[in-house]
Amino acid sequence: MRGKRRAPRPRIPWRSPWTPLACLAGLLATGAIAVLGGMAKDVVLIVDGRRQEVRSFADSVHELLADHDVPFGDGDLVRPGARAPLADGVRVEVRHARPITLTVDGRTSRRLVTATTVRDALAELDMAALRGRLSAPRYEPVPLSGMALIIYTRRTVHIVANGTRRDVTTTGRTVRQVLKRAGISYEPGSLIRPPLRAFPGEGSVITVLPPRTEPVGDEVMRLDWDALAMCESGGDPTAYNPSGPYYGLYQFSLPMWQLVGGTGMPHAWPPEEQTYRAQLLYQRVAGRWQEQWPNCGAHLFG
């Protein structure tokens, strides 16, 4: 009786002549993966405010940006610098330059900034502490194509009107706006300096003079009013003499000032208005200056 034949033994893989080679290849692949994994860096890349986490084998910041098609040039911000070595965990930021047409209180310049918002642009231009009115909100983005930004700073100006002087703080673009916001009205024909369309800078004096409905003759204007003022008040438009009382360049009494259409106090008005009223007074008295300026009137004639 014949015995049963044994089933053939399964082949043992490691007894294959190829087994050592396969193991070696696996070890090499595993080692390569480990080496390459050790060379890769996890990097945070921020371009114009957009953030992404990337894995890179680049050796430098420049290579990283080239691999991710991020261009840069003069005026752009690259941090760390493009030549810096790329380390694991580093944060790389790129902000491209953008033009701003900046107008501050009527003066225009063209600047380049890498900031992405108006607020940060002002900080970059050392204007973060500036207070005033902006043409765009501080949180508005600054596009790569650029933008125009108009700023009117908060300024103190002086207004002389209706015989009084006021100091006001304003961001008004024109003299007209400043007067309107200050609640100062004026009659048609009033003399306003600087002109209504002018820009009132810091410390400007805005003068509102009443309309000059009564003309002054040339022969009166040619008299030496400066000499009369020097004699009467030492040329001081704010002069005050309590003995009268008398006021201003030409030492008006209040009744005489009002007689020639003056309002308020004479010495509160600028020299131009005081001189005009003095010339009207001379005309009203038909040149009889002796009653008005008995001690100094002769100076009118040199």
92-113 tens-digit pLDDT = 999 999 999 999 988 899 999 9
Are 159 and 182 a contacting pair, CB within 8 Å? Answer: yes
pLDDT score of 35: 42
What's the pTM? 0.61
Mean pLDDT to the nearest integer, 280-288 = 93
Mean pLDDT to the nearest integer, 189-202 = 93
User: Of 1-10, 137-146, 216-225, which gets the smallest average pLDDT?
Assistant: 1-10
Burial class of residue 43 (count of CB atoms within 10 Å of its CB; 0-12, 13-18, 19+): buried
pLDDT score of 131: 82
Angle, CA 255 vertex, CA 249 and CA 257 arms, to 5°: 35
Give me 270's structure tokens: 């600028």
3-31 tens-digit pLDDT = 555 555 555 554 556 555 555 555 554 44
Are 109 and 125 a contacting pair, CB within 8 Å? Answer: no
Average pLDDT of the chain?
88
pLDDT score of 1: 47
What contacts 196, CB < 8 A, 6 or more positions away? 174, 175, 176, 179
pLDDT score of 18: 58
